[in-house]
Amino acid sequence: MIEILYKNEGRIEALQTVEALTGLRPADVVWIDMVSPEGEEKRAVEAFLGISLQTRAQAEEIESSSRYSETETAVFVNSNFISPGPDEYTQEAVSFIVSDSILTTLRENPLRSFTILQRRMQAYPKNYPDGFSVFVSILEQRVDLDADMIEIMSQEIAQYNKKVSLGEDVNEEFLLDINQLQENTMLVRENVVDKQRMVSSLLRSELCPKYLTEKLEVLLKDIGSLINHTNFSFERLEYLQNTVIGIINLDQNKIMKIFTLVSLLLMPPTLIASLFGMNVNFGAFVADSPWAWVVICGLMILSFLIVIVVFKIRKML
């Protein structure tokens, strides 16, 4: 699937066939968006731009330090866009190429933000004179979406904190939910840091138009605030996780304390019962008495009460 957005008498129009490139001038084309392109479509775009496009495997294998590169006429950028899910977040690799002021994007799955931007370009064509302006607009949209995800995660952290404060049931599943939220927070932070490097590289690039400098500087400040927010959220999660682990340990200690006290309380009665139950003449003085079992039970109860009194005096109960 391919979407070609080009300028036509002050408007921006869209074409969905790769054959349309043969009738367009490079100066009129603003954005070529490809979703799971076929080999014929990629070859036609490469011939139109005069450059080679990366495969998905190449885009995913590029190290974070090498996600941005440029030549004398083109800028190459690879980035991961996060899509929130019910439990965990997924990443979608997207390749950007800006060559001769034409933006080319290559991805495998549809992205709602790209579709919205394409409609906006057709509604407000003056705001998107070239591929660099479109690229910066995509970055602005993605930063806004990252901010929304961070806000949602902050609300989830607040809900978890409230559950712990209200003394609700805290178990292993609750701890796993916190761990998953930590993973999502780290994923968002890595994605935001990746955008920070990307914007910083664009600011240093001589190919990027100077009229976009102010936008990029504002975007860089927004990204910096998002990084600080994610750091704070991660610290809150770490504190919450430690609190939950502490509560679980306290509950386990209480259970172990009960078992230990029960064992200690029953030890003296058990000892007395064992002594009188031995097959020796130890209990001869009560062996023939009909009240022997009463005496033995009394000794057991007395020893039990003595242990309780000792424990209470030492504040162990």
**Across-strand partners of 32?**
4, 104
pLDDT digits (tens, 9 = 90+) for 233-272: 888 888 887 877 777 787 778 788 777 777 777 777 777 7
What pLDDT does residue 8 have? Answer: 84
Local confidence band at 67 (pLDDT 50, 70, 90 cut-offs): confident
Q: What 8-state DSSP symbol labels residue 71?
A: -
Is the pLDDT reported for residue 284 higher than 70? no
Q: Please classify residue 191 by burial: count the beta carbons closer than 10 Å to its beta carbon, then call 0-12 exposed, 13-18 middle and 19+ buried.
A: buried
Q: What is the mean pLDDT of the chain?
A: 80
What pLDDT does residue 217 have? Answer: 92
- Of the candidates 112, 110, 130, the residue with the CA atom closest to the CA atom of residue 121: 130
Local confidence band at 317 (pLDDT 50, 70, 90 cut-offs): low
Backbone φ, ψ for residue 77 (5° rounding): -135, 135
Question: Cα(290)–Cα(259) distance, rounded to whole angstroms?
Answer: 35
Beta strands 74-83 and 68-70: pairing type? Answer: antiparallel
Is the pLDDT reported for residue 104 higher than 70? yes
Superfamily name and number for 2-249:
CorA soluble domain-like (3.30.460.20)
DSSP 3-state assignment of 75?
A: strand
CB 105 within 8 A of CB 128: no
% of the chain surpassing 70 pLDDT: 87
pLDDT digits (tens, 9 = 90+) for 9-31: 888 888 888 787 787 888 888 88
- How far, CA to CA in Å, does 200 sit from each of 95, 103, 127? 18, 19, 22
CATH 3.30.460.20, the chain: domain bounds: 2-249
Local confidence band at 184 (pLDDT 50, 70, 90 cut-offs): confident
Q: Please state the rounded mean pLDDT for residues 195-221.
A: 89
Is the pLDDT reported for residue 64 higher than 70? no
- Cα angle at 17 between 16 and 22, to 5 degrees? 125
- How far, CA to CA in Å, does 125 sit from each of 11, 13, 104, 165, 227? 6, 9, 18, 52, 32
Q: What 8-state DSSP symbol labels residue 20?
A: G
Is the pLDDT reported for residue 70 higher than 60? yes
Local confidence band at 221 (pLDDT 50, 70, 90 cut-offs): very high
- Per the listing, tokens 């490097």 go with 197
Q: Which residue has the higher pLDDT, 172 or 181?
A: 181
Question: Cα(168)–Cα(160) distance, rounded to whole angstroms?
Answer: 10
